[in-house]
Amino acid sequence: MASLESYLGGLLARGRAYFSRDEVAAALGLRPSALAAAITRAINKRRLANPRHGFYLILRPEDQIAGAPDPVEWIDPLMKHQGIDYRISLLRAAAFHGASHQASMVFQVVVPRQVRDFDLGRHRLQFLYQAPRAFTQVNQPALIGQMKSDAGFATVAGVELTLLDCVRYFHKAAGLNGVAQIVKDIGAEASPRLLHKAAEAYENSTVRRLGYLLDLAGHARQADALQAFVKRAKTALPLDPSVRPLMKVLEQPGERNPRWRLLINEAVELAE
């Protein structure tokens, strides 16, 4: 009967560094208690990591300091194991598309279900919920791409979804100024047609805030593609709803932006 160690070596030899409990149980034929004990010993020896129940990562020596490989190498099999569709987005996606000013300290994933965040070694994974109907509408081949790693490919938001996601979840994407810098860095790469198409699935407030930031960054074609959404707006909203009480903003009519029906209650600073 093969041992757990030989099973792990065989997987690595085939270029695979993950497995499920069901797979190893079928391969080794161990009693559940014996298998659990073997897996626990391997975890204690830092040979395995366990990001989710029933799913394991094989740690190579170079992975052991960080406690796990880069999540891009295993997020796809993990999400398939859980039966959840996904896309990598926000800061990691922005960096993938060429944003150079934001260091990605967290690996952020948009999902159509409530999923608990977790830490694995030095890595922090954060899951951001998008309603299933909207998620299905935008998580389509024209709007997503593939991020390559040594272990294969993972689904990543295209430029258009990255911009919309960053604005929608701006408080988790380095704040308003951080998102504005991302818009400046990669906004010119967005297709106006695809940006308009994707925006249909987002809140009107998100689309208007993105339009304003695109204008500010000088990406006129992309901003103009979102202008039609302003006509649907019922009220003017603050650019940053988190910084000042709305009543104070209403007392400053000079800070209104009629093009996007926004109350500019926060100065946006962009680096050169």
Query: What's residue 245's pLDDT?
Result: 56
Nearest alpha carbon to residue 211 among 265, 261, 271: 261
**pLDDT tens digits for 62-97?**
998 899 999 999 999 999 999 999 999 999 999 999
How large is the average pLDDT for residues 118-129?
Answer: 96
Residue type, 203: E
**pLDDT tens digits for 178-223?**
999 999 999 999 999 999 999 999 999 999 999 999 999 999 999 9
Residue 248 has pLDDT above 80, yes or no: no
Residue 170 has pLDDT above 90, yes or no: yes
CA distance 11 to 13: 5
Residue 103 has pLDDT above 70, yes or no: no
Query: What's residue 49's pLDDT?
Result: 96
- Give pTM, 2 decimals: 0.91
Which residue, chain included where needed, has tokens 């209403």? 250
Confidence of residue 254 (pLDDT cuts 50, 70, 90): very low
Domains of the chain: 4-66 (1.10.10), 72-263 (no CATH)
User: Is the Cβ–Cβ distance between 261 and 233 less than 8 Å?
Assistant: yes
User: Is the Cβ–Cβ distance between 24 and 16 less than 8 Å?
Assistant: no
Host H or E run for residue 230: none
> What's the chain's average pLDDT?
92
Strands 107-111 and 118-120: unpaired
CA distance 7 to 27: 8
Query: What's residue 101's pLDDT?
Result: 65
For helices 21-28 and 32-44, what crossing angle results, to 10°?
A: 120
**pLDDT tens digits for 20-59?**
999 999 999 989 999 999 999 999 999 999 999 999 999 9
